Structure 1
Amino acid sequence: MNTKVVLYRASILHFPEATDVPSRDYVHFVDGGLVVVNGKILALDEYAVIFPKHPTAEVVDYRGRLIVPGFLDSHLHFPQTEMIAKYGEQLLEWLENYTFPTEDKFKDMNYCRYIAQIFLRQLIDNGTTTALTFASVHSQSVDAMFEAASQLNMAFITGKVCMDRHCPTYLQDTASSAQRQSDDLIQRWHGKGRNLYALTPRFAPTSSPEQLASLGELAQQYPDVFIQTHLSENAHEVAWVKELYPTHTNYLDVYEHFNMVRKRSVFGHCLHLNNDEWAQLSESGAVSAFCPSSNLFLGSGLFDIQSAKEHKVSIALASDVGAGTSFNMLRNYGDAYKISQLQQSPINPYEGLYYMTQGPAIAYDLSDNIGNLNPGSYADFVVLTPLANELSKLRHLGANTTSTATSNNADQTTVENASDMIFALSMIGDDRAVEATYIAGKQQKTPMENLNALA
C-alpha cells in the first residue's frame, strides 16, 4: 500500500459539523495545511502547526487558492448531458420533445459508456466529486455509470429510471420488471466500493400505483438505499398528479403512501408545496433538492427558501442538468442567490457552500466519508483559484487577497475573505475557477499550466 504523506498548503474552508447557521459554524484556515495518506484525510490545521508534525511530507503549495470539500450535486440527469441548452419549453413539453427521444439512445451500451465519460469529466472539471444522478430506463445505463465512477474511486449514487405509463412505449418498463431490474442492480452495485443505489421512479405521473407499490417494497427491503424522484416542479404537473391520484391529500402523500418518504429520500424541486408537505419532509428526514438554474430555465417557479428553513427541511443544491444550464455548482449557487434575493431572504455564500457539501452529506448519513475535510473522510476536495479569468482576477486582486510579495504572484498570497471569493466566483466564475479536483486523494483535474498568464 502506498503510504506517501502529502501536505497541501492553501487557505482552507469547511464545515466540520452539522449547523443551522453556516455563516457562524465554519472553519477557515487562512494559511492551512491538509494532510492526506492513502486517499483519506489524516489531519487539518494551520500550516505552521501541522508542518512540524509531518516534516517529511511532500508539500503541494496552493497558496493564493482556496481548498474546500468536493461538491455534491444532489439531482441531475446523466442521459440529458447532450441536450443541455435546448431552446425552452416547460416541463411536460420538455420531456416529450427532448428528454424521451434522447434517452432512447441509451439502449446501446456503447453509447451509455461514451456519455458516461463525458458526464464525469464535466462533473470533475467543475469540482463535483459526488453526484446523485438519474440514469435512463435501461439497466445498462446504470452499469455504465457505476463502471466509470468506480474507475475513479468516486462516491456515486444513481439508479435506473422507472416508468410504466405516460411515456413513449419504447421507454416503458412494467411494475414487475422495474422491481426485478432495480433489485438486480442493487445486488450488483449498492455498497460495492463507493457506489450507492437509488430507487428512481421518474415522478408520480409516469409510474402506475402498481409500480410505485413494487418500488416501495424494495424501499422497505433495503432501508439504506436512496430514493430519488421529482416533487411539485411545475403547476401543471401538480394538477396532473391530483387527477391521477385523486384520493391522496397532496403530491407528497402519493409517495408517502408507497413507503418512499424517509431518510435518504431526495425530492427534486419542491416548488409548490403546502405547509403539510413541508412538515412531512422535515419529520421524515427527507431532502429537498433545490435546482435553481433549471427552475429558472423551464419557468417552473421559485423555491421557497424561507419555508424550507422554517420547517428545518434539509436543503441540497443541485444542477438538474440538462434543464439546468451548468454543471458548475458555484454558478448554481449564484442562481439560488438570485432566487432567494427576489424573496428578500438571500442565501449567503457560507450557506451556498454548505448546501453543496456538508449539509447533504449529513442528511444522507455520509458525513463520515464526504462533505467535509475532517480526519477520516475521503480526500475529496477542490482547489479554487480567484485568478481564473481576467475579470475574476480584476475582481479579486486587492479585494480578497493580501500579499507578501507582489499581487500577481498567487503562490505568495492568502485568501482572507473566503466568503467574498466564493460569492464572486458564483457570479463570474466558470470551470476555470476549479484549478484542481481530487478524488480519494488522487488529482483528477490538472491545474492551470499558466496561472499568471493574465498578469
Structure 2
Amino acid sequence: MASQTILQGSVLSFTGTPFEGEPGDAVQVHEAVVVSGQHIAALGDLEQLQAAYPEADVVHHGNKVIIAGFVDAHVHYPQTAMIASWGKRLIDWLNTYTFPEEMKFADRAYADDIAGRYLDLTAAHGTTTMCSFATIHPESVDAFFSAAQARGQRVVTGKTCMDRNAPEGLRDTAQSAYDQSKALLQRWHGVDRLEYAITPRFSPTSTPDQLEAMGALWAEHPDCLMQTHLSEQTDEIEWVRGLFPDARDYLDTYEAFGLLGGRGLYGHAIHLELRERDQLREHGAALVHCPTSNTFIGSGLFDMAGLMAEGQRIGLATDTGGGSSFSMLRTMAAAYEVGQLRGVPLHAAQLLWLATVGSARSLRMDDKIGNLAPGMEADLIVLDLASTPAISQRSAVADDLWEAVFPTIMMGDDRAIAEVWINGQRR
C-alpha cells in the first residue's frame, strides 16, 4: 500500500478560471490534502480525512497555504550561470552573454553541473515543473533529463536548433538538427515524467530549410510540444521581416513550415498583429508571458487582459536567464506590475492560477499537474505567509485570504517556500 500523508493548512484548489467572473469564486479552500504515493488522494475536512485515512501521518502547517507546485512554461536552464547580466537589448544580449555561455554545454560534465544547480535553485523557489530550452548540444538535453529523472520531476526540454546567425560552434544544420532531435526524442520522450519539445530557437537563427525540417519532425511526432520565441522586441520583428520578406508577419515564419499548432509554445508574444492573434487562438496555441524578462531587457508590456478576453491559452514563465529571477513569486509580482502599467491589475487568485493551472494548460499537462484534486500528481508546495518581518506584519492585518496571500506574491522569495513535494516525496 502506498504511503499516505495528510497535510493540514489552507489548501487551495482551482475549480474554474479566475479570469471569468469574480476571481476568488474559482478557488475552493480545504482544511487538508491527502498525498498517497505519487498522487493526490483527497481534499477536505481534516477530521473526515483522518477518519478515512487512519494510517496516514498528519503534518500540521497551521495557517500556511498549500497549493500545487509552480509550473514555469519557458526557461533556458543553460543561462543559469549568467542570469542578471547587465544592460543589453535582445540581440546584443544573446551575442554578448548567452551564446558564449551556451558554448560550454558541449562538455557533458559542465552541463550536468548546471542542470543540477538549476533544478536545485528552482525547487527551493517552489517550481516543480518547467519547460526548458537546452543548447544545440545533445549532451545538454541528456544532462537535463538525467538530472530531472533522478529527482522524479516532470519536465520538458529539447535540443535548441540554430543553423544561422549564431557563432561557430553553436550552429547545426537542417539535417543534423532533425537527426539529433529525433534521436533525443526517441530516447527520452515519455520516459518516466519526461517529455520532449521540438525546439527551433527562433526564426532569425533558423534557415527556411531548418524550420521545414522541424515542422516535418513535429508532423511525425504530434504528441510532442514545440517551443520557440515570437514577437519579443520590435527590432527583432524588423530583423525577421528582412530575413523572411515574403512572410505575412512573424508568426507566418513558423506557420508556413508547419510550426503552428495546439501543442506549440510561443514565448513572449508581446507585439502581435491581429492576424497572429486570430491564428494563435484558432489553433489553441499557448502564449507564454515572461514579465521579468520583458522588463529586464526592455521588450514591452504583454497584453494579458486583451489576450485573455479573446480566449488565448496563456502561461507564465521566468525566462531564466533573460528573466532576472528563478522565482515564480517574483514573476507573479512582475506580471502584476505589467498589468498595472496596462491599466489592468491582476488579482492574487489570477496570479496563482497563471503560475500553476495556466502554465500546466500551456504545456497540455493540466490533467496531471498544476492543481490539487484527487488523481493529480503530488507536486505541491507550502507557502509561509509570514516568511519575513515585512510580509508578516502586512499579512497579519489582512481581512481575507487573498489580502493575506498578496504580500507574499509581491515580496516573497525562497524563504516563503516552507515545503516542497515532488512526485509524492518531500524534498
Normalised-by-shorter TM-score class: over 0.9
Output aligned runs, 1:406-425, within 5 Å: 417-425=400-408
1:40–1:377 Cα contact (<8 Å) kept:
yes
| Cα deviation digits, residues 238-273 of structure 1 (max 9, x gap) | 001011111110000111111111112110101110
1:79–1:103 Cα contact (<8 Å) kept:
yes
| Cα deviation digits, residues 353-379 of structure 1 (max 9, x gap) | 111111232343312210111111111
Distance, in Å, in 2 between the alignment partners of 1:248 and 1:196 is: 31
Distance, in Å, in 2 between the alignment partners of 1:202 and 1:14 is: 35
* Alignment partner of 1:440 out of 417, 423, 426: 423
Query: 1:425 is paired with a residue of what secondary structure?
Result: helix
Output aligned runs, 1:247-266, within 5 Å: 247-266=246-265
Output aligned runs, 1:300-449, within 5 Å: 300-399=299-398, 417-444=400-427
Q: Does 1:23 align with 2:23?
A: yes
2:13–2:29 Cα contact (<8 Å) kept:
no
- TM-score of the superposed pair, with normalisation by structure 1: 0.91
Distance, in Å, in 2 between the alignment partners of 1:428 and 1:29 is: 23
Superposition deviation, residue 18 in structure 1: 5.3
Match of 1:73 in 2: 72
Query: Which segment is superposed worse, 19-28 or 289-298?
Result: 19-28
Superposition deviation, residue 105 in structure 1: 0.7
Superposition deviation, residue 27 in structure 1: 3.1
Query: 2:261 is paired with a residue of what secondary structure?
Result: coil
Identity %: 41
Report the residue type matching 1:143 in the other structure: D
Match of 1:230 in 2: 229
Distance, in Å, in 1 between the alignment partners of 2:236 and 2:126 is: 33
Report the residue type matching 2:411 in the other structure: I
Superposition deviation, residue 421 in structure 1: 3.1
Distance, in Å, in 2 between the alignment partners of 1:418 and 1:100 is: 44
Report the residue type matching 1:23 in the other structure: P
Match of 1:280 in 2: 279
2:18–2:350 Cα contact (<8 Å) kept:
no
Superposition deviation, residue 191 in structure 1: 0.5
Distance, in Å, in 2 between the alignment partners of 1:363 and 1:93 is: 29
Q: Does 1:115 align with 2:114?
A: yes
Superposition deviation, residue 17 in structure 1: 4.6
Output aligned runs, 1:37-76, within 5 Å: 37-76=36-75
| Cα deviation digits, residues 262-285 of structure 1 (max 9, x gap) | 112110101110111111111111
2:287–2:362 Cα contact (<8 Å) kept:
no
Query: 1:268 is paired with a residue of what secondary structure?
Result: strand
Distance, in Å, in 1 between the alignment partners of 2:184 and 2:404 is: 42
| Cα deviation digits, residues 148-203 of structure 1 (max 9, x gap) | 00011110000010000001011000000000000001000000010000111110
2:80–2:320 Cα contact (<8 Å) kept:
yes
| Cα deviation digits, residues 47-100 of structure 1 (max 9, x gap) | 233222223311011112000101100111011001111111000000000000
Superposition deviation, residue 24 in structure 1: 4.3
Distance, in Å, in 2 between the alignment partners of 1:165 and 1:346 is: 40
Query: 2:375 is paired with a residue of what secondary structure?
Result: coil
Distance, in Å, in 2 between the alignment partners of 1:253 and 1:169 is: 28
Query: 1:251 is paired with a residue of what secondary structure?
Result: coil
| Cα deviation digits, residues 304-331 of structure 1 (max 9, x gap) | 1232123211111100111111111111
Query: 1:272 is paired with a residue of what secondary structure?
Result: coil
Match of 1:205 in 2: 204
| Cα deviation digits, residues 196-235 of structure 1 (max 9, x gap) | 0011111000000000000000110001101111000010
2:72–2:359 Cα contact (<8 Å) kept:
no
2:315–2:361 Cα contact (<8 Å) kept:
no
2:380–2:420 Cα contact (<8 Å) kept:
yes
Q: Could you list the runs of 5+ residues in structure 2 that have no partner in the other structure?
A: none
Q: How many residues align?
A: 426
2:386–2:395 Cα contact (<8 Å) kept:
yes
2:178–2:217 Cα contact (<8 Å) kept:
yes
Superposition deviation, residue 38 in structure 1: 1.1
Match of 2:185 in 1: 186
Please, what is the CA RMSD of the aligned residues?
A: 1.4
Report the residue type matching 2:29 in the other structure: F
Distance, in Å, in 2 between the alignment partners of 1:331 and 1:345 is: 18
- TM-score of the superposed pair, with normalisation by structure 2: 0.97
1:282–1:313 Cα contact (<8 Å) kept:
yes
Rate the CA distance shift 1:25–1:211 in 2: closer, same or farther, 3 A: farther
Distance, in Å, in 2 between the alignment partners of 1:256 and 1:116 is: 32
Match of 2:149 in 1: 150
Superposition deviation, residue 420 in structure 1: 2.1
Distance, in Å, in 2 between the alignment partners of 1:17 and 1:138 is: 41
